[in-house]
Chain A
């Protein structure tokens, strides 16, 4: 019953909003370059389907590549932090500086330095910069929250730093890391979109670029279609990471257990 209404209620609301939208556009003769009706958006979507799909793949590729780069850098640096307080004290302020500087402001610089020859590398780098910090900060936090007594016990049994890291710190950090990955996946997509916006026409071919281009041509229905696909992509990324989180934690972690009760 709960599950059914959980699915049904948002669907009903969505249908109502779309119906009202269609009706108002028809009733008030709103021109399509101001607000296209849902049916017009659907038409734009089907007419441009293959090219929009190519754009979607392009944005998805940048998002995933950026995410992977952010993951490797974030987890790697967090492990370095957990092994050495000196490394952490030295580098953490710069990581924070990187985080608080709006990436939109750095993007043009990256595009000039990297983007002239390797536009995709520049886009990936921008997406990675946006996604990097939550992974670093959550993983650092997670690696530190290992049970002190278990650390002592492992030392008592002669464990090496590596064994403590692998057998205790990393599993302890896993729920933190998975939570960060859900956030970072979305952020990486935002980074990819920002990068495409800044890169402008002629180079990038992703969904964000399609939005800008369709806007320039006043093809608002296509713009909405691209926007819809971006939203769906974000949802898909979030759902994939949520599923991975559930699969990895369901046996033991409180966050996954409560859903079973």
Chain B
């Protein structure tokens, strides 16, 4: 079932830059969708439009049902440095004025799922880059979102950390049946995580190619995976 559809969405910034023009795509419920493209192709703008943080100049973003709870994960962990991991993960629940007991329990659970069971009292400065990103994702999960928007969340991390986070993210999104729109410029990451990859053209951004990947678990070393990788790379090269 379609969760949302972008129909001919255009966005121009105040400085005159045309970020998006005629961007159209559909997102199905429960799918893991990657937006892949070079820097400055308007991928982040598309996410912010979907989140409702900015409004499109033309076109529309149509939700099939009521808009689900949306969580956002940025490229930076974007944590509050004065608050420990638990307080950071609890933020969406605090804003919704949940009782402290319930909010704590849910935030603790989210941290535990991200492998940070013993770090709920740690401050961001005491955590590594990968752990900070884990807190950021725990915060996103604590809100129990129906839709998770991720804007190059692992771009700044080293390769092993990034792979570990990819594995956890994929597992958790599946367990919670969260729809994920994942922005990245890494072919590897997009191919590994996604059910579907949309390759975007440089500014103004629009969809140039769509690659559906076979369902099921993936092994980074398998033939099947390298085949998917080749198809995504090929599509991306055509758009350039």
Chain A residues contacting B80 (CB-CB under 8 Å) are: 150, 167-168, 171
Binds A, one of B5-13, B92-100, B175-183, B219-227: B92-100
Chain B residues contacting A155 (CB-CB under 8 Å) are: 53
A153 touches B123 (CB 8 A): no
A111 to B141, CA, bound (A): 61
Residues of A with Cβ closer than 8 Å to B?
147, 149-150, 152-159, 163, 167-168, 171, 174, 251-253, 257
Chain B residues contacting A157 (CB-CB under 8 Å) are: 91-92, 95-96, 143
B53 touches A156 (CB 8 A): yes
B216 adjacent to chain A (CB < 8 Å): no
A157 to B71, CA, bound (A): 8
Chain B residues contacting A156 (CB-CB under 8 Å) are: 51-53, 70-72
* With known contacts A157-B91, A157-B96, A158-B95, A252–B51 Cβ distance under 8 A: no
The minimal Cβ–Cβ distance linking A23 to chain B, given in whole angstroms, is 53
B95 touches A154 (CB 8 A): yes
* With known contacts A171-B82, A174-B82, A252-B124, A149–B96 Cβ distance under 8 A: no
Give the residue of B72, B83, B96, B124 whose beta carbon is less than 8 angstroms from that of A152.
B72
Chain A, interface SS category: helix
Give the residue of B53, B74, B78, B123 whose beta carbon is less than 8 angstroms from that of A251.
B123
CB-CB nearest 6 A-B residue pairs: A157-B92, A157-B95, A149-B78, A159-B95, A252-B82, A252-B81
B171 adjacent to chain A (CB < 8 Å): no
A257 to B92, CA, bound (A): 28
Chain A residues contacting B81 (CB-CB under 8 Å) are: 252-253
A21 to B195, CA, bound (A): 84
B76 adjacent to chain A (CB < 8 Å): yes
Give the residue of A150, A152, A171 whose beta carbon is less than 8 angstroms from that of B53.
A152
The minimal Cβ–Cβ distance linking A71 to chain B, given in whole angstroms, is 20
Q: Closest B-chain residue to A147, C-beta based?
A: B78
A252 to B80, CA, bound (A): 10
